[in-house]
Amino acid sequence: MTIVVLSDGDSLEQAVQSAVGDSVSVRTMPLATGVNVDADDLSVVLIDGATDLERALRLAHDFDDRRPGVTVVLGAPVSDGVAARAMQAGVRDVLSPGADGDRIREAVKRAIEVADRRRATMHSIDESRENRLIMVMSPKGGAGKTTIASNLAVGLAQRAPKEVALIDADLQFGDVGNALRLLAETNIRDAIAGGLQDVTEVKVHLTPHRSGLFALCAPDQPGVADEITAQAFTKAVSMLADEFRYVVVDTDPGLGERTLTVMDHATDLVFVAATDVASVRGLRKTIDALDSIGMTSHQRHFVLNRSDAKVGLDVADIASTIGMEPDVLVPSSRTLPVSMNQGTPILEMDEPSPATGPLWSLVDRFHADPDADDGHNSGRRPGGLLRRRN
Ligand SMILES: Nc1ncnc2c1ncn2[C@@H]1O[C@H](COP(=O)(O)OP(=O)(O)OP(=O)(O)O)[C@@H](O)[C@H]1O
Ligand SMILES: [Mg+2]
């Protein structure tokens, strides 16, 4: 997540950085950079219009035309007519030079939300024809893969009923069946035993879930995992990926042969890590290993789980160790283990938990909320990104 301040001075950058904290990176570039701002994960530009308002408005207009995924905030004294002209130029908000920290934080937070939503919508339009095979993975056990995968699948199924399959690739100790309270009468072993000639043979071994998704469960005895080759497993997954708009795969920890083989067919990798040093280092090594074998074509997403853990590293350190900003911060919430034990993912529950908004924002990355309006559908919006840091 990056905010670029287009300005020939650095005072705006300082004001924004101290308002939003370290979890968002803020950089200044000269006004002459114009729309060609080159920054990873750019969502918001703040254009300094204090010295030359006309130039700033022209620039805002250019962003509106040519960089629709970027939200523009204008820094300028608010005098008669400025707000209306700024709006016509596609500016989302105007910050006057005396704006205090709270006002800046609020403006930036809104701008990021708008940018996220626009990008999610653009993405879902771009990719509306492409099926997504999403692997949820982590180097360490217990990081939260099953929790994230089952909530992602249930959230997607609410937006695209009957178009989502959740596959348990943790063949030894998989617990997708428990996480969803499924009484699976059949599983991946039976699906593969059919010979994999035809996708229908695989589909009959899916177990429907009340949310509208279909699950392919792991065998109920750990020993059966050895009978299932990575190739056969991958063939079953890729057949389902041709049929379903979203296939979510919950994996076992690490980069085993099965995970690597399925990865050849995947479109998206969702990395899950906690804030402890071992988890973060493990993810760094995983990403290095994938880069070194040329597995770089996937869209990568980074979910930092238990992001508010008091004993862990802080978000900025984690981002710099991993070389990637977390896309979603899921705080600790005791509702999560409770929901897992009950077999009801929290995105199915009525009462929200602090993890509900962040989990919906993960769903948004794949399928935007069709009912989202301009920043007012609270409850489903990510809440944690711009929170004050202690
Ligand atoms: N943000 C969270 N807050 C509180 N508890 C959590 C959170 N995320 C996961 N948990 C709990 O941590 C435990 C491990 O989570 P989960 O089973 O999802 O991890 P996993 O990565 O799938 O583990 P494994 O490697 O064993 O498959 C579960 O009891 C789960 O409910
Ligand atoms: Mg698991």
**Which ligand number lies closest to the CA of residue 148?**
1
Q: Are 16 and 3 in contact (CB under 8 A)?
A: yes
Q: Whose CA is nearest to atom 30 of ligand 1?
A: 337
**Tens of pLDDT along the chain (390 residues)?**
789 999 998 888 998 998 888 878 899 999 999 998 888 888 899 999 999 999 999 999 999 888 888 999 999 998 878 888 998 888 999 999 889 989 998 998 889 888 888 777 766 555 555 899 999 999 999 999 999 999 999 999 999 999 999 999 999 999 999 999 999 899 999 999 988 989 998 999 999 999 999 999 999 999 999 999 999 999 999 999 999 999 999 999 999 999 999 999 999 999 999 999 999 999 999 999 999 998 999 999 999 999 998 888 999 999 999 999 999 999 999 999 999 999 999 999 988 899 999 999 999 999 998 877 544 343 443 333 333 333
What does the alpha-carbon distance between residue 160 and residue 360 come to, in Å, rounded to a whole number?
14
Burial of 2 (0-12, 13-18, 19+ CB in 10 A): middle
pLDDT at 123: 61
Which residues have their alpha-adjacent CB atom under 5 A from ion ligand 2? 145-146
- How far is ligand 1, taken at its centre, from the CA of residue 144, in Å? 4
Closest approach atom of ligand 1 to CA 150 = 18
pLDDT at 375: 43
**Which ligand number lies closest to the CA of residue 353?**
1
Q: Quickly count helices (H) and strands (E) in the chain.
A: 14, 13
pLDDT at 129: 52
Burial of 103 (0-12, 13-18, 19+ CB in 10 A): middle
- How far is ligand 2, taken at its centre, from the CA of residue 296, in Å? 24
- How far is ligand 1, taken at its centre, from the CA of residue 143, in Å? 6
Q: Which of 138, 271, 303, 336 to mutate to test the pocket of ligand 1 (most atoms within 8 A of CB)?
A: 336
**Which ligand number lies closest to the CA of residue 152?**
1
- How far is ligand 1, taken at its centre, from the CA of residue 304, in Å? 12
Closest approach atom of ligand 1 to CA 250 = 22
Whose structure tokens read 């944690």? 384
Q: Whose CA is nearest to atom 1 of ligand 1?
A: 332
- How far is ligand 2, taken at its centre, from the CA of residue 270, in Å? 14
pLDDT at 125: 55
pLDDT at 81: 84
**Which ligand number lies closest to the CA of residue 168?**
2
Q: What are the domain boundaries of the chain?
A: 2-125, 129-364
Q: Is there a shared CATH topology between the 2-125 domain and the 129-364 domain?
A: yes
Q: Which residues line the pocket of ligand 1, CB cutoff 6 A? A: 138, 141-147, 170, 253, 305-306, 330, 332-333, 336-337, 340, 355
Closest approach atom of ligand 1 to CA 170 = 27
Closest approach atom of ligand 1 to CA 140 = 25
pLDDT at 194: 83
Which residues 6+ apart lie within 8 Å of 332 measured at CB? 306, 307, 308, 309
pLDDT at 369: 86
What does the alpha-carbon distance between residue 69 and residue 118 come to, in Å, rounded to a whole number?
6
- Choosing among 1.10.260.40, 1.10.150.120, 3.40.50.300, 3.40.190.10, the CATH entry for 129-364 is 3.40.50.300
pLDDT at 299: 96
- Choosing among 3.55.40.10, 3.40.50.2300, 3.30.1300.10, 3.30.930.10, the CATH entry for 2-125 is 3.40.50.2300
- How far is ligand 2, taken at its centre, from the CA of residue 175, in Å? 6
pLDDT at 214: 97
Q: Which of 146, 171, 279, 349 to mutate to test the pocket of ligand 1 (most atoms within 8 A of CB)?
A: 146
**Which ligand number lies closest to the CA of residue 142?**
1
- How far is ligand 1, taken at its centre, from the CA of residue 306, in Å? 9
Which residues 6+ apart lie within 8 Å of 326 measured at CB? 302, 303, 304, 307, 315, 318, 319
